[in-house]
């Protein structure tokens, strides 16, 4: 075999869409191209050994913020033991500021931007000559109609065990400066009929869990409606074998026609990731994020009240111009809207993003190592930023996990940010850890904190008991599902666990 496409995914369940696009577009080289994915945390020598077992002449690596350090080690070792193997890199992490990166120095070639056309061309040159003169090749961006769709390269095992990533469009017309998609300046749609045909084939092969990577699903409402109708038809045809779809949406654009479609999805079949990032208009202006806060708020409220969609709403801490008080106000506002999860992220300086222009004026200090998280700004010092990092982690464990659904209101009271920050500081002081805290220990700690804050013992016990009962019913559902007792299921098999917990609460 001649060409090997590889990457280290963040989890086994993440199947790389990018590698499958490359494979689909290899043309006359497709028969000599294979795909071998790994998961971060694998031993470098094992990865290298498995790659070399294919006896490749070229290895193409997809490099991302989450795997760049491990990929660097893999490439370094590959070059030591098999220097004749040609290494070609691609992916967002190496598409900008490449000269500074060790992994690029170690590799033979780099394709920046889109690789669908340029990677196969480069491989042909490497294999058949003339030898490429340049090390860095800017990826050609063809019309999407020239790109072969990749979905047939999802294997039966992918379909059975992994999330299937799909995209109806690429790019984003918005310009939020912390985001790589801001460089696209526009969005390009794939041919919708061809795309829906691919979804149909995947569904016929057993796929039930679809995650759309479109940066803004609700840009073109006509297309959004057709895609939603595809899923609604599937749900109507086979309500006992439901599909599950995840979309990223902008919050201030939900016309009535879209609302009508959304309202038809039954529980456990639809999930939205909604970027708010900041409710502070000055911060939004500074990072060039266009957002109508009033409309966004109304739409989230509508989604909570009138739809069964599971809502993940994103906030980012550490943006220029945002201090703790303004972040807390945004957080509290979001808590009152009651989305199922608040994804509390810490700002990262993604290579190539224009956010860097604020570095001096707002004294933004970023970690020099991936994922380049913000460490301090002129308004949030390092110690406070660390407290926010821990808050985000504990929030995920306690709130987003759905494991403390009945106890959470007791914790948050009427000042959600301040109270949860107090719990977060207390948990860290008593455990010195943010990871590997067993659920029972966490529950005992939460109960102790609530007691110390003067809450009634009986109320604490009752709320934790309700949460425990929720876990127990979840696990008996799982047992039933394993035993094939479909009637005992409270949620479809494709439903992610957290959403199932929120539904059961
Ligand atoms: S944050 Fe979302 S809306 Fe803004 S540029 Fe990125 S993808 Fe587009």
Per residue in 43-58, pLDDT (tens digit) is 999 999 999 999 999 9
Identical fold between 3-142 and 154-380: no
Binding-site residues, ligand 1, Cβ < 6 A: 172, 174, 176, 179, 181-182, 215-216, 250, 275
Ligand 1 pocket test target in 173, 174, 352 with most atoms within 8 Å of CB: 174
Average pLDDT along the chain: 93
What is the enclosing helix (H) or strand (E) of 311? Answer: strand 310-317
Average pLDDT over residues 218-237: 96
The confidence band for 501, taking pLDDT boundaries of 50, 70 and 90, is: confident
Q: How far is ligand 1, taken at its centre, from the CA of residue 45, in Å?
A: 38
Closest atom, ligand 1, to C-alpha of 277: 1
Which residue's CA is the closest to the ligand 1 atom numbered 3? 174
Calpha distance 292→286 (Å, rounded): 15
Task: Give the domain ranges of the chain.
Answer: 3-142, 154-380
Closest atom, ligand 1, to C-alpha of 289: 4
pLDDT for residue 492 is more than 90? no
Calpha distance 56→94 (Å, rounded): 22
Closest atom, ligand 1, to C-alpha of 172: 8
Those residues whose C-beta lies under 8 Å from the C-beta of residue 147, and which sit 6 or more positions away, are 21, 24, 25, 116, 117
Do the beta carbons of residue 265 and residue 232 sit within 8 Å?
A: yes
Average pLDDT over residues 158-186: 94
Strand ranges in 441-503 using DSSP code E only, listed in sequence order:
none
pLDDT for residue 220 is more than 60? yes
Ligand 1 pocket test target in 212, 216, 314, 352 with most atoms within 8 Å of CB: 216
pTM: 0.92
Do the beta carbons of residue 23 and residue 150 sit within 8 Å?
A: yes
Which residue's CA is the closest to the ligand 1 atom numbered 4? 176
CATH number of the domain located at residue range(s) 154-380 in this protein: 3.80.30.20
> In terms of CATH architecture, what is 3-142?
3-Layer(aba) Sandwich (3.40)
Q: What whole-number percentage of the chain has pLDDT above 90? A: 91
- Identify the three-state secondary structure at position 22: helix
Q: How far is ligand 1, taken at its centre, from the CA of residue 360, in Å?
A: 24
Question: What pLDDT is stored for residue 495 in this prediction?
Answer: 63
Closest atom, ligand 1, to C-alpha of 250: 3
As beta bridge partners, residue 165 has 211
Q: Which residue has the higher pLDDT, 503 or 304?
A: 304
Ligand 1 pocket test target in 172, 272, 353 with most atoms within 8 Å of CB: 172
Per residue in 39-94, pLDDT (tens digit) is 999 999 999 999 999 999 999 999 999 999 999 999 999 999 999 999 999 999 99
pLDDT for residue 497 is more than 90? no
Tokens representing 86 are 């040609």
pLDDT for residue 410 is more than 50? yes
Do the beta carbons of residue 282 and residue 321 sit within 8 Å?
A: yes
Per residue in 95-125, pLDDT (tens digit) is 999 999 999 999 999 999 999 999 999 999 9
Q: How far is ligand 1, taken at its centre, from the CA of residue 183, in Å?
A: 10
Distance of CA 424 to the CA centre of its chain: 24
Per residue in 421-457, pLDDT (tens digit) is 999 999 999 999 999 899 999 999 999 999 999 999 9
Average pLDDT over residues 465-488: 55
Average pLDDT over residues 302-310: 97
Do the beta carbons of residue 317 and residue 269 sit within 8 Å?
A: no
Q: How far is ligand 1, taken at its centre, from the CA of residue 248, in Å?
A: 10
Calpha distance 314→116 (Å, rounded): 31
Q: What whole-number percentage of the chain has pLDDT above 70? A: 94
Q: Which residue has the higher pLDDT, 468 or 135?
A: 135
Q: How far is ligand 1, taken at its centre, from the CA of residue 132, in Å?
A: 35
Average pLDDT over residues 345-367: 97
The confidence band for 489, taking pLDDT boundaries of 50, 70 and 90, is: very low
Calpha distance 98→412 (Å, rounded): 45
pLDDT for residue 493 is more than 70? no
Per residue in 182-217, pLDDT (tens digit) is 999 899 999 999 999 999 999 999 999 999 999 999
Closest CA to 22 of 92, 81, 96, 90: 90
Calpha distance 168→144 (Å, rounded): 10
Q: How far is ligand 1, taken at its centre, from the CA of residue 402, in Å?
A: 27
Closest atom, ligand 1, to C-alpha of 184: 5
Tokens representing 331 are 């957080």
Do the beta carbons of residue 102 and residue 71 sit within 8 Å?
A: no
pLDDT for residue 488 is more than 80? no
């Amino acid at each position: 075999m001649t060409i090997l496409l590889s990457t280290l995914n963040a989890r086994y369940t993440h199947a790389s869409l990018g590698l499958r696009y490359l494979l689909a577009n290899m043309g006359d080289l497709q028969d000599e191209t294979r795909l071998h994915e790994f998961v971060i945390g694998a031993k470098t020598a094992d990865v290298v050994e498995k790659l070399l077992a294919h006896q490749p002449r070229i290895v193409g690596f997809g490099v991302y913020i989450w795997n760049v350090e491990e990929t660097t080690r893999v490439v370094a070792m590959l070059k030591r033991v098999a220097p004749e193997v040609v290494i070609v890199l691609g992916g967002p992490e190496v598409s900008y500021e490449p000269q500074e990166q060790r992994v690029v120095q170690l590799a033979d070639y780099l394709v920046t931007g889109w690789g669908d056309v340029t990677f196969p061309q480069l491989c042909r040159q490497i294999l058949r000559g003339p030898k490429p003169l340049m090390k860095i090749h800017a990826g050609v961006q063809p019309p999407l109609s020239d790109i072969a769709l990749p979905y047939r390269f999802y294997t039966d095992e992918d379909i059975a065990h992994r999330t299937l990533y799909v995209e109806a469009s690429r790019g984003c017309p918005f310009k939020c400066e912390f985001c790589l998609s801001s460089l696209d300046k526009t969005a390009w749609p794939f041919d919708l009929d061809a795309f829906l045909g691919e979804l149909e084939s995947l569904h016929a092969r057993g796929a039930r869990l679809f995650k759309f990577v479109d940066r803004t699903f609700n840009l073109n409402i006509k297309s959004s409606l057709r895609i939603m109708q595809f899923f609604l038809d599937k749900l109507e045809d086979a309500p006992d074998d439901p599909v599950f779809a995840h979309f990223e949406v902008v919050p201030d654009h939900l016309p009535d026609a879209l609302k009508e479609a959304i309202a038809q999805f039954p529980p456990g079949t639809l999930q939205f990731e909604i970027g708010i990032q900041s409710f502070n208009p000055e911060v939004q202006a500074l990072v060039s994020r266009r957002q109508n806060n009033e409309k966004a708020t109304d739409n989230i409220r509508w989604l909570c009240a009138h739809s069964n969609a599971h809502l993940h709403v994103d906030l980012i801490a550490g943006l220029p111009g945002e201090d703790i008080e303004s972040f807390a106000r945004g957080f509290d506002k979001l808590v009152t809207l009651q989305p199922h999860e608040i994804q509390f992220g810490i700002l990262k300086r993604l290579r190539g993003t224009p956010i860097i222009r604020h570095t001096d004026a707002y004294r933004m200090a970023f970690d020099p190592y991936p994922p380049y998280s913000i460490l301090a700004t002129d308004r949030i010092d390092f110690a406070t930023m660390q407290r926010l990092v821990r808050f985000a982690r504990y929030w995920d464990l306690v709130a987003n996990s759905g494991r403390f659904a009945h106890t959470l209101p007791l914790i948050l009271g009427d000042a959600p940010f301040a109270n949860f920050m107090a719990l977060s500081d207390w948990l860290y002081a008593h455990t010195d850890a943010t990871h590997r805290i067993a659920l029972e220990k966490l529950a005992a700690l939460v109960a102790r904190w609530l007691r110390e804050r003067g809450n009634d013992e009986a109320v604490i016990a009752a709320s934790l008991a309700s949460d425990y009962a929720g876990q127990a019913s979840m696990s008996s559902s799982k047992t039933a599902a394993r035993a094939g007792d479909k009637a005992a299921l409270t949620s479809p098999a494709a439903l992610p666990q957290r959403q199932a917990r929120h539904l059961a609460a």
